[in-house]
Amino acid sequence: MLKLLIVDDERIIRETMATLIDWESLGIQLIGTAKDGIEAYNIILDEYPEIILTDIKMPGLSGLDLIQKISEIHQKAHFIILSGYNEFEYAKEAMKYGVKHYILKPCNENQIIDSINSVKKDYADAMLFSPVMHQSDAHLDVYHSIMVNSLNLCLSAPPHALPLESISRTFSKYFDFIHISYELWYLYYVTPQDYPQILEALQKYKFHAFPHLLMDALYVQNTLILYYPSFAIAPDSVAELLHRFTDDFDVLPEFKHKTSDNLLDVLKELIPHIRRYDTIYYTSSLNAKTATSLNNYQNIIQETQTLVLQVFSPDPSVGKNALTSLLQLLSSISSTDFLKQLSTSIMMTVVTKSRTLDISGMREVLLRLDTETSLPEIKKQIKVYLENHYLSFQSNPVSLSLSSKIKKLVQQHYCNSNLSLKWISENYLFMNVDYLSKKFLQETDCKFSKYLTDYRILKAKEFMLSSNIESIQEIADLVGCGNNPQYFSQIFKKATGHTPSKYIKTLRQPLSEM
């Protein structure tokens, strides 16, 4: 579901819109209402709604100011403007920021629903054609590692006990396994000679038509399986493409299409079809660079997972013995491809069980392993990685909480005007921003937006006290609000009861005059 925030300074209007419409039936989750731009801005920092329905003219931070600020940190946000007859000039200004939806007050339920449906279509188009769908190679690398690990876990589990809940619980902080539906395609009678040909054709088509579409491929003996998010391409269009790409094959493939409720259901559907084969070829996002051969050595995979979990046991003797056994097991592997595959699963488990949450460090090691051809060198690098994390786990009995890591990043980057939980997610923690927001609130009993604002006010006070800076613009710039000094003045007065200018004057006033 897309998340919606309603913003209006008139209580009866925002409450009527919140209760009049059955938002859930539209595929919309109403996350709340806000009475002004500042309250809305803080909610957006914590919740990151995809749709903001806002009045254009409000006291303090206006709807136009809100749109300007949010466009800098949350490019996926779509705005619907509510405006009176005499406010059209404001609306025209908002359109400069890409706002396309405008409702004139007074409005009715159908007008709002039509605008919401239009925004939903715009959002689906943006997800396909905008680079923000998958912001970086780092996110794709993490996704690939998660899917390889998830497939390995399912293949090594008993057929009647797939660890789907465990996969969702462990990896939902990085990607959504539950709320996005998927389209699933089976192509039967695809020979090993035809498989590379059709994959290359799909890659070329995706590159030109939908460069940011996340379409994965699995190939087992004479069967190619494709899956991708449902909002992406209509099934009829895919069927037409597949027929066109395979029309000149000696044996024409047969196609079967199915819709799955989510990524967990995709795994549940796939595993029985692929688990009986020795080798499974997996390609994430139809990117040839990610092609991975999944060697279905079930016993080794299962024993490795068990030992990795034991390495991080609270009992040091259990952990030490498990590490020794794990290194012995890895030393016996003779297949370079299988060891690389296994290393991805090992390191994802290490990151989730150790106290570091070091996704970027894991990624660097996996990138080195990907280009390494020497089996002894691969074993050496995995050994060093395991031993370092084991020693770190044993020497740090108290883990650094996720909220502490976020606070530390705020303290390091508070002067960056783009600082937000989404920015932290994309550049440092590589976790789902909703998960980070909920975890921060759970651990601190404080929303991220409030912590960020309070810390910036604290630093502003320090600058005022310890320097001769008179310019409010300069102080705003030092604490990350330089792109909107008016907003800085508003939050400063709200926190201290004084404008920045009056606060500075009070600080520097001689005691005899006070």
pLDDT in tens, 187-224: 999 988 888 888 888 888 887 777 777 889 999 888 99
Question: Residue 461: pLDDT above 90?
Answer: yes
Tokens standing for 163?
A: 């660890």
79-98: pLDDT as tens digits: 999 887 566 676 677 777 78
Chain Cα centroid distance, residue 311: 29
Residue range 339-353: average pLDDT?
87
Q: Looking at per-residue confidence, does 175 or 387 come out higher?
A: 387
Q: Kind and range of the H or E element at 256?
A: strand 254-260
Residue range 30-49: average pLDDT?
93
User: What b/e readout covers 286-303, taking b as 16+ CB neighbours within 10 angstroms?
Assistant: bbeebebebbbbeebbbe
Tell me whether strands 182-188 and 254-260 are parallel, antiparallel or unpaired: antiparallel
pLDDT of residue 87: 64
Domains in the chain: boundaries: 2-132, 137-295, 298-395, 424-513
DSSP 438-503: HHHHHHHSS-HHHHHHHHHHHHHHHHHHHS----HHHHHHHTT-TT-HHHHHHHHHHHHSS-HHHH
pLDDT of residue 381: 94
Angle at 122 between CA 121 and CA 125, to 5 degrees: 90
Which of 173-182, 242-251, 315-324 tops mean pLDDT?
Answer: 315-324
User: By the 8 A CB rule, do 370 and 341 touch?
Assistant: no
379-416: pLDDT as tens digits: 999 999 999 999 988 887 566 688 988 999 999 999 99
Identify the band that residue 375 occupies on the pLDDT scale cut at 50, 70 and 90: very high
Q: How far apart are CA 434 and CA 178, in angstroms?
A: 14
Domain 2-132 bears CATH identifier 1.10.10.60: no
Identify the band that residue 357 occupies on the pLDDT scale cut at 50, 70 and 90: low
Q: How far apart are CA 76 and CA 47, in angstroms?
A: 13
**Domains 2-132 and 424-513 fall in the same CATH topology:** no
pLDDT of residue 174: 81
User: By the 8 A CB rule, do 480 and 419 touch?
Assistant: yes
Residue range 441-454: average pLDDT?
94
Q: Which residue has the tokens 């046991």?
A: 313
User: By the 8 A CB rule, do 372 and 173 touch?
Assistant: no
Q: What percent of the chain shows pLDDT beyond 70?
A: 93
Q: How far apart are CA 331 and CA 350, in angstroms?
A: 18
Residue range 7-35: average pLDDT?
92
Q: What percent of the chain shows pLDDT beyond 90?
A: 42
Please measure the distance between the N-terminal and C-terminal CA atoms of the chain and give it in whole angstroms: 57
Identify the band that residue 132 occupies on the pLDDT scale cut at 50, 70 and 90: very low
Q: What is the DSSP letter of 427?
A: I
Question: Residue 450: pLDDT above 60?
Answer: yes
Identify the band that residue 33 occupies on the pLDDT scale cut at 50, 70 and 90: very high
Across the beta sheet with 78-83, the strand order is 28-34, 2-7, 51-55, 78-83, 101-104
Residue range 40-62: average pLDDT?
90
113 by Cβ neighbours in 10 Å (0-12 / 13-18 / 19+) ranks as: middle
At the topology level, CATH places domain 424-513 in: Arc Repressor Mutant, subunit A (1.10.10)
How high is the mean pLDDT of the chain?
86
CB-based contacts of 234, cutoff 8 Å, min separation 6 = none
